[in-house]
């Protein structure tokens, strides 16, 4: 007798019955860029198939999100006016606040997540206020907290700090509680690496740093124990969920964080991961559906409870059709 693992792979029905990794549309989060203006839905050149919407056209995409059964949207604001401190981030009529208000009113079943960071709003493109040429951590905390509260006021269910300042989860938690938003969740980008894979996003959001880079506040790709420390600190400060970012190049980190944390863990498949597959698929070098599906499955297998991806709408469709 030969022992045959292959028997379990004999037919599609058997493979489907015994598969170890299962995806559902409700675990997906779709990132959306909202820019100031009216009647705008423009394609982002570095991210074929992804658009920037003005607050009035934004419901168009929400309709598709709701139809697809995608769990949540993650909103990025692209303001018209930027300044040294990024004050449009917490403006009452800021672009993200407008988008949240519209979305909340018309789409009760979608979870709305606001990205909390200053880089899209500052004239210098860094994620906090500057002292000379470096980001000043502690004064930035107050502005992030203000931004989070204003997003909660506008209707965010979840705020997601992506700035990587030390102590921001605690600062945001106490500001939310103080303003009566005890039930607003914090999804912390606890483990965010200084990555080349954010390239297309910086074009989409107009948030490339005017000088220097983000290595003094984002993580060094060579480190994994540091990721565990960042994750632990954020959980201790009150993060309800934590995220690892980017996705595919950091599967080992995702697994390590998942094994040691008792909160749900998200993975962010970032803009560069999206655009690489798009570009290769356009040239006929990879099969888009298979590459996207495989990447998503690998992220979930490595530990993602929640998956943030620009492919969320297609993935939801393929999942519902039983294709992955």
| Active-site annotation, residues | 192, 245
Q: Which stretch binds ligand PBG (CB under 6 A): 17-25, 167-175, 197-205, 276-284?
A: 197-205
Number of residues in contact with ligand PBG under rule CB under 6 A: 12
Q: Which stretch binds ligand PBG (CB under 6 A): 58-66, 77-85, 114-122, 168-176?
A: 114-122
85 Cβ contact partners less than 8 Å away, ≥ 6 residues apart: 118, 122, 129, 143
Pick from 121, 193, 198, 250 the residue near ligand PBG by CB under 6 A.
198
The verdict on 295 binding ligand PBG (CB under 6 A) reads no
Q: What angle do CA 116, 293, 321 make, to 5 degrees?
A: 105
**Window 23 to 62, contacts with ligand PBG (CB under 6 A):** none
Q: Which stretch binds ligand PBG (CB under 6 A): 9-17, 32-40, 111-119, 150-158?
A: 111-119
Taking the complex as a whole, how short is the minimal distance between the CB of residue 135 and ligand PBG, in angstroms?
Answer: 12
CA distances from 91 to 69, 71, 81, 104 (A): 31, 27, 11, 18
Residues 63-102, mask of contacts with ligand PBG (x by CB under 6 A): ----------------------------------------
Q: Which stretch binds ligand PBG (CB under 6 A): 62-70, 198-206, 256-264, 287-295?
A: 198-206
Task: Give 85 or 127: the residue with its C-beta nearer to ligand PBG.
Answer: 127
The verdict on 187 binding ligand PBG (CB under 6 A) reads no
Quote the CA–CA distance of 43 and 29 in Å, as a whole number. 20
Q: Which stretch binds ligand PBG (CB under 6 A): 112-120, 137-145, 151-159, 250-258?
A: 112-120
Contact criterion met (CB below 8 Å) for 82 and 88: yes
The verdict on 270 binding ligand PBG (CB under 6 A) reads yes
The verdict on 202 binding ligand PBG (CB under 6 A) reads yes
Q: What is the 3-state secondary structure (H, E, C) of 81-120?
A: CCECCCHHHHCCCCHHHHHHHHHHHHCCCCEEEEEECCCC
The verdict on 127 binding ligand PBG (CB under 6 A) reads yes
Chain length of the chain:
324
Torsions phi, psi for 74 (to 5 deg): -115, 120
The verdict on 117 binding ligand PBG (CB under 6 A) reads yes
The verdict on 156 binding ligand PBG (CB under 6 A) reads no
Task: Give 33 or 181: the residue with its C-beta nearer to ligand PBG.
Answer: 33
Task: Give 36 or 163: the residue with its C-beta nearer to ligand PBG.
Answer: 163
Contact criterion met (CB below 8 Å) for 75 and 35: no
Taking the complex as a whole, how short is the minimal distance between the CB of residue 312 and ligand PBG, in angstroms?
Answer: 12
Contact criterion met (CB below 8 Å) for 35 and 53: yes
Q: Which residues bind ligand PBG (CB under 6 A)?
A: 115, 117, 119, 127, 162-163, 198, 201-202, 214, 270-271
């Amino acid at each position: 007798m030969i022992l045959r693992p292959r028997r379990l792979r004999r037919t599609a029905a058997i493979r489907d019955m015994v598969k170890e990794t299962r995806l559902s549309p409700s675990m997906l989060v779709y990132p959306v860029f909202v820019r100031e203006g009216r009647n705008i839905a423009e394609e982002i050149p570095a991210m074929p198939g992804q658009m920037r919407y003005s607050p009035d056209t934004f419901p168009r995409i929400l309709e598709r999100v709701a139809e697809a059964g995608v769990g949540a949207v993650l909103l990025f604001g692209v303001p018209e006016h930027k300044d040294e401190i990024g004050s449009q981030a917490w403006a009452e009529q800021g672009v993200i606040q407008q988008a949240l208000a519209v979305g909340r009113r018309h789409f009760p079943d979608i979870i709305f997540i606001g990205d909390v960071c200053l880089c899209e709003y500052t004239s210098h493109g860094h994620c906090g206020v500057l002292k000379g040429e470096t980001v000043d951590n502690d004064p930035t905390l107050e502005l992030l907290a203000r931004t989070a509260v204003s997003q909660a006021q506008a209707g965010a269910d979840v705020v997601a700090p992506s700035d990587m300042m030390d102590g921001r989860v605690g600062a945001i938690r106490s500001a939310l509680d103080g303003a009566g938003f005890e039930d607003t969740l914090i999804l912390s980008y606890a483990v965010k690496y200084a990555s080349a894979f954010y390239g297309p996003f910086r074009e989409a959001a107009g948030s490339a740093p005017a000088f220097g880079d983000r290595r003094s506040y984002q993580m060094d790709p060579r480190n994994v124990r540091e990721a565990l420390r960042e994750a632990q600190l954020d959980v201790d400060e009150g993060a309800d969920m934590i995220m690892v970012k980017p996705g595919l190049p950091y599967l080992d980190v995702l697994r390590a964080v998942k094994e040691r944390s008792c909160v749900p863990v998200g993975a962010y498949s970032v803009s560069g991961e999206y655009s690489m597959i798009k570009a290769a698929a356009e040239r006929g070098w990879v099969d888009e559906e298979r590459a996207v599906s495989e990447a998503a499955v690998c992220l979930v297998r490595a530990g993602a409870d929640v998956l943030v991806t620009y492919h969320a709408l297609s993935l939801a469709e393929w999942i519902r059709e039983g294709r992955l």
